[in-house]
């Protein structure tokens, strides 16, 4: 659990500042579950430059509560939380100073979104909150007021969690949360999980991730882990201390994240899933008469496939459907072995490429349509799919046929501006597994939106 906050102060000498406004959003990693926003009477003068910056003046604060009147609420809303702020060292110092004036020792773990941003979103022109959120296309209201800045930090932190492929932020949260150190009953873990699409992480007591999976119903899948009686499930049941999850909305995003994070984190119970996900592939070649031939064959890492398949039967079904949809020749697709015409030519559903009756130029046009539709080689495109909320979409970025990564966006501005798009995208590895996942998903979901750009 995180307490994401922003504090406005009077300004002045170091450790003599007073709080004029505070906003705290309690965030569970997915949504805001509680909030506290209040002006505070600092009982001291506000520096003129601060008044100009924030618009907060002494008249506004005359009837505001003093810090001791809100201190209990601050303690309660931040209990068992990691404090998150943009330049957390400043906000945490101010809070500790105010509490020390009351004789209370305020101790919390902190995360700084400036430091996290420099690590996870490198090469930005500026890491000030205003310029950073603007570069990421995050809308901000009430800039330099505690509520507006804290809410912008919530949205920034959400992006940082997405980009944290190593899951170090989540693991630290599990490790530090004392509630997770108790031996939980499995039913209590399941009760807290949603029935949504996403990636889930099973942790042991020190926060380490021991298993990563994806599901269209996380609650149901974890229940299966806890009720299965096979050896792996029993070992997971004995070690599990907490289950965290990342909502994706899109099954494609969940598949890509699962594949990437298993390879990166290498959980002890995911060994079997580190192998490639496909066994067969579609290859194309030109014969001596310049006709483009297609062939389903065992996947070979030395060759460049058009697309890949989980098994031979899946590849065969693809070819059979392609023959019908694009009016292709059975002989030139490897389905019908013959030295003469194919079976379909006899029933007049093949134009005769098998016996050179149809020209190579005419036949190849239809084959190239098939190849273009089922391969994103050399293409620049964004695949748009479901997001985690009604007003959100996911974006999978492909540049020159290379999978670059994925992200989430709320505004069309973010997806139409390539610089903003690249900022919100979490970089991910392009490999044979990711290519297989994307191509397989596009084959099964033909209506999914794709934006092609130059």
* Whole-number Å distance between alpha carbons of 378 and 332: 25
> Residue with structure tokens 């300004």?
11
Last residue of a domain, one of 314, 340, 373: 373
Task: Tell me if 406 is assigned to some domain.
Answer: yes
Q: In the listed set 330, 354, 373, which residue is the last one of a domain according to the structure?
A: 373
pLDDT at 452 over 60: yes
Of 233, 251, 274, the domain-final residue: 274
**Tens digit of each residue's pLDDT (9 = 90 or more) over 298-323:** 988 788 888 888 888 889 999 999 99
In this structure, the answer to whether residues 369 and 400 fall within a common structural domain is no
* 8 A C-beta contact, residue 296 and residue 282: yes
Secondary structure (3-state) at 258? helix
CA distance 281 to 299: 5
Write the CA distances from 314 to 111, 194, 281, 320, integer angstroms: 47, 32, 10, 10
Provide the strand spans (E) within 2-68.
2-9, 19-27, 32-39
Of 138, 252, 244, 259, the closest CA to residue 200 belongs to 244
358 and 423 together in one domain: no
Look over the chain and give the mean of its residue pLDDT values, rounded to a whole number: 87
Give the model's pLDDT for residue 432: 82
Arithmetic mean of pLDDT, 214-230: 90
Per-residue pLDDT, averaged over 198-222, amounts to: 92
| Shared domain check, 253 and 187 | yes
What gap in Å lies between CA 21 and CA 11, rounded to an integer?
Answer: 12
Question: Does 123 have pLDDT greater than 90?
Answer: no
The answer to whether 394 and 386 are in contact (CB under 8 A) is yes
196 SS3 class: coil
* Residue 420 three-state SS: helix
The answer on 290 and 266 residing in a single domain is no
Region 261-275 average pLDDT: 78
Residues 6 and 133 in one domain: yes
pLDDT at 385: 93
Q: What is the pTM of this model?
A: 0.74
Residues 284 and 304 in one domain: yes
CB under 8 Å to 229, separation ≥6 — which residues? none
From the number of C-beta atoms within 10 Å of its C-beta (0-12, 13-18, 19+), residue 49 rates as exposed
Lowest mean pLDDT among 39-43, 177-181, 246-250, 276-280: 177-181
Whether residue 125 lies inside any domain: the answer is yes
Q: Is the domain of 204 the same as that of 231?
A: yes
Query: Which domain does 329 fall in, by range?
Result: 280-373
**217 pLDDT more than 90:** yes
- Residue 59, domain member (yes or no): yes
Residue 269 DSSP class: T
Q: Are residues 233 and 113 in the same domain?
A: no
Lowest mean pLDDT among 62-71, 113-122, 383-392, 407-416: 407-416
Question: Is 420 contained in some domain?
Answer: yes
Q: Decide if pLDDT at 182 tops 50.
A: no
Write the burial class of residue 187 (CB in 10 Å: 0-12 exposed, 13-18 middle, 19+ buried). exposed
Q: What is the CATH number of the domain that holds 197?
A: 3.40.1440.10
* Residue 168 within any structural domain of the chain: no
Which CATH number belongs to the domain containing residue 10 in this structure?
A: 3.30.420.10
Give the integer Cα–Cα distance in Å for 18 and 47.
11
Provide the greatest CA pair distance for the chain.
97
The structure tokens listed for 180 are 């997770």
Q: What per-residue confidence (pLDDT) applies to 175?
A: 63
Give mean pLDDT, residues 78-105. 90
Q: Are residues 259 and 297 in the same domain?
A: no
Cβ pair 307, 319 in contact under 8 A: no
Count of domains forming the chain: 4
- Domain assignment of residue 434, yes or no: yes
196 domain residue, yes or no: yes
Residue 362 has pLDDT above 80, yes or no: yes
Phi (first) and psi of residue 419, to 5 degrees: -65, -45
For residue 335, give the 3-state DSSP assignment.
coil
User: pLDDT at residue 36 above 80?
Assistant: yes
Q: Let me know whether 302 and 246 are in one domain.
A: no
Q: What is the pLDDT of residues 150-177, one digit of tens each?
A: 999 999 998 898 888 778 887 777 666 5
Asked if the structure places residue 123 within a domain, the reply is yes
Are 20 and 149 found together in one domain? yes
Q: Report the range of poorest mean pLDDT among 167-171, 228-232, 312-316, 368-372.
A: 167-171
Residues 112 and 48 both lie in one domain:
yes
* Range of lowest pLDDT (28-37, 275-284, 381-390, 403-412): 275-284
């Amino acid at each position: 659990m995180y307490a994401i906050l922003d504090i406005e102060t009077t300004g002045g000498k170091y450790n003599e500042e007073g709080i004029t406004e505070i906003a705290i959003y309690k965030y569970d990693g997915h949504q805001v579950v509680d909030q506290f926003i209040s002006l505070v009477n600092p009982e001291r003068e506000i520096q003129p430059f601060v008044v100009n910056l924030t618009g907060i003046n002494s008249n506004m604060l005359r009837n505001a509560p003093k810090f001791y009147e809100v201190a209990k609420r601050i303690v309660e809303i931040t209990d068992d939380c990691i404090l998150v702020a943009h330049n957390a060292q400043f906000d945490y110092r101010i809070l500790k100073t105010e509490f020390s004036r009351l004789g209370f020792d305020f101790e919390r773990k902190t995360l700084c979104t400036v430091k996290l941003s420099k690590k996870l979103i490198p090469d930005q022109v500026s890491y000030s909150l205003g310029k950073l959120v603007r570069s990421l296309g995050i809308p901000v209201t009430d800039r330099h007021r505690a509520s507006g800045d804290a809410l912008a930090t919530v949205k920034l932190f959400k992006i940082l969690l997405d980009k944290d492929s190593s899951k170090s932020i989540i693991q630290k949260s599990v490790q530090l949360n004392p509630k997770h150190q108790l031996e939980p009953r499995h039913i209590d873990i399941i009760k807290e999980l949603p029935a949504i699409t996403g990636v889930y992480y099973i942790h042991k007591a020190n926060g380490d991730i021991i298993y990563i999976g994806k599901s269209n119903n996380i609650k149901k899948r974890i229940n299966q882990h806890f009720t299965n009686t096979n050896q792996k499930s029993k070992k997971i049941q004995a070690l599990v201390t907490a289950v965290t999850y990342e909502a994706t909305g899109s099954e494609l995003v969940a598949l890509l994240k699962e594949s990437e994070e298993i390879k990166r984190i290498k959980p002890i119970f995911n060994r079997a899933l580190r192998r490639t996900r496909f066994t067969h592939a579609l290859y194309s070649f030109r014969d001596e008469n310049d006709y483009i031939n297609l062939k389903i064959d065992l996947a070979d890492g030395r060759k460049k496939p058009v697309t890949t398949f989980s098994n031979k039967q899946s590849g065969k079904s693809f070819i059979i459907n392609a023959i019908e949809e694009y009016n292709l020749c059975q002989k030139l697709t490897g389905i019908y072995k013959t030295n003469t015409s194919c079976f379909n030519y006899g029933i007049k559903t093949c134009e005769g490429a098998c016996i050179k009756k149809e020209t190579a130029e005419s036949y190849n046009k239809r084959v190239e349509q098939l190849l273009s539709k089922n391969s994103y080689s050399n293409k620049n495109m964004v695949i748009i799919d479901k997001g985690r909320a009604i007003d959100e979409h996911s974006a999978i970025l492909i540049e020159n046929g290379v999978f670059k990564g994925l992200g989430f966006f709320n505004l069309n501005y973010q997806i139409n501006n390539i610089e903003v798009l690249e900022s919100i995208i979490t970089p991910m590895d392009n490999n044979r597994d990711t290519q297989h996942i994307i191509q397989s998903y596009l084959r099964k979901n033909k209506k999914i939106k794709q934006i092609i750009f130059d």
